[in-house]
Structure 1
C-alpha cells in the first residue's frame, strides 16, 4: 500500500508552486516534509516571530504591531484588527493602551523583556513562556513550522557568538543575510518530499511526480548574461540580454553559448528527474497563458509525449504514461 513517504514531488526550480504544493498537502492532512531548501525569512512562523522583535524594538511601528496582532502569537482575526485599529490619530500601540484592549497585557510582557533578554532568550521565552508561542504557531501553521522555528533559534545562538547580543543588532544582521534551511533530503520521515530535480540526485521513491514539466526553457532564460569582450584577458561583464531588435552585436555569441548551456542543463535535469521513480512516474504541468494550453515543444512534458508516441504507447496504458 502506498504511503506518504513513498511519494516524491519534483520541481525544476523552487518557487510559488513548491510552496503551494506543500500548503495543499497540509490542508488535506497529508504528511509532508516541505521543500528541501528554503530561505529562513520566508516561513510565516519566522515572520511572526520577527514581527514580535520589531514591535519590541519600536512599539509605534504600526505595521509590525498589526502583523503581530493577527499572528498566532496574539490570535486576532482580520476583522478584530480592523475594528480595533480605528482611531483619530496616534500610533496603534498608544490607541490599544487607551482602549484597554485584551491584547495589551501580552504585548506589554513582550516589551518588558526587550531590554533584558538576548535574541535567543527573547525568542525562547516567546515560544516556551507564558505566551506559549511554539504551540500556537504549530497549531495554526502545521508541523512544517517546527523546522523554521528551530533554525531561527539556531541563528540567534550563532549571532550571539559573533556580535553584541542585542535585539536591534540581531534584526539588522538577520535582514542582511540569506540564511537557508537545508533538510536531509534522503530521509522522508514518512512524509511526502517536495524538492528540486537537482536536489533529488541519488534519491528514489516508488512514486515520483514531476509537477512543473510544462515549463518552456525559452521563457526561463536569465536577463543578465556574462560577456567577455576581446582584449580584456577573459574578464566578463554583466550585460542585459539583447532584445530581438538589438541583435547583431558582439554580445550575440555569448548569449548563444549561455542559451546552449542552459538548454543542455534543462535536459540533464529531466534525465535526473525521470529516473528517480522506482515504480511509477507521473509527468504533469500547467502551460502558461502564453502557450494557450499547449505544452511548449521543448518542455519535459512534450519530450515525454513525443517519446511515448514514437514507441506507440497509448495514454493510460503504461506506468509512466502522461496524465490526460
Structure 2
C-alpha cells in the first residue's frame, strides 16, 4: 500500500484495532453499570457460582466515606449479576460510615458477612483533631446474596481500632480472623463455632522478623500449605507461607507490583483455575475527572515448589474463562 492510500485508511485501521482490543478487554470486570467497587472478596459456595463481596465507592466520594456493601455472582467470571446492596451502615446501630473491605463465610447452614464500619471524621490536615474509629462486625443471612442482618448489634471488639477482616475456615471447621488493627497487625483471633465472637486473646504471629506496614490480609490454603497474603505498604501484593494458620510464617516476596494507589485482593480457586481478584485506580467516565476504584481479575499461577508466579495487570484478565470451562467439560 502506498503512502497516500495508507494515510487514507489509517484511521479506519486504527479504529478496528482499538475496537478489537476493547472487545477482548474484560478488566475491569463488567458488573452491568457504572458502579465503583473495591476490595473484592471471592468465594465459591455450594451452588457452584463465584460470589464477590465488595465495598462500594460512591461517585467521587470524599476520603473513603462509604455507606454499603454489594454482592455480585457469576458462573463464568465474565457475565456478572449485581445483587445490589446487601448491607448498609443505615442498618447498624453502632456505625454510620466507613463501609470498607468485607469478607464472607458459610458455616452451620448460614452465610456470614464480616465487615468493618465506623464513626467520626479523619482530619488529614490536623490529625490530632481526628475522631475516626472503626470496628469489625458480623452479619448473617440465609442467602449468599442477603439481605444480611447485624447479628450481634455491636463490633466484635472496640479496642484496638480495626478493619480489613479476612475470615479463613480450616478443614477442621476452626475459623480464624485476620485483620488490620492499630498497633496490632500480624495478629489472628480464633472464632467461636457460631462465628459471633472470638475465643480468648489475639494471637501474635511470628512473621520471621519482617513486618512491613500492611492492610487487607487474605489467607488461603493450597496443597496443605497456608498462604498469608497482603498489600505490603498498602500497595504491592506480597505473601508468606506456613504449615499452620497461626504461623510461624516465612516471607516469600511480592507477586503483584504497585501501580500507585492502594490495592486489596482475594485469591480463590474456581474450576481448577486460581484467580486473583483485586482493584485498580482508573479514570472511567468519572464525573470529577479523576481515578476511582474498579474491581479486576487475573489468573494466578504457582511454581512446582508452591511459590506464586509474578502477576501482571492486563486488559484481558480472565476474559477467556468461559472457553476454559467449556474445554474442561469436553474432556
Higher RCO by CA contacts (8 Å cutoff, separation 6 or greater): 1
TM-score range, shorter chain: under 0.3
Q: Which has the higher strand share?
A: 2
Higher share of residues assigned helix: 1
Largest Rg, 1 or 2: 1
**How high is the TM-score relative to the length of structure 2?**
0.23
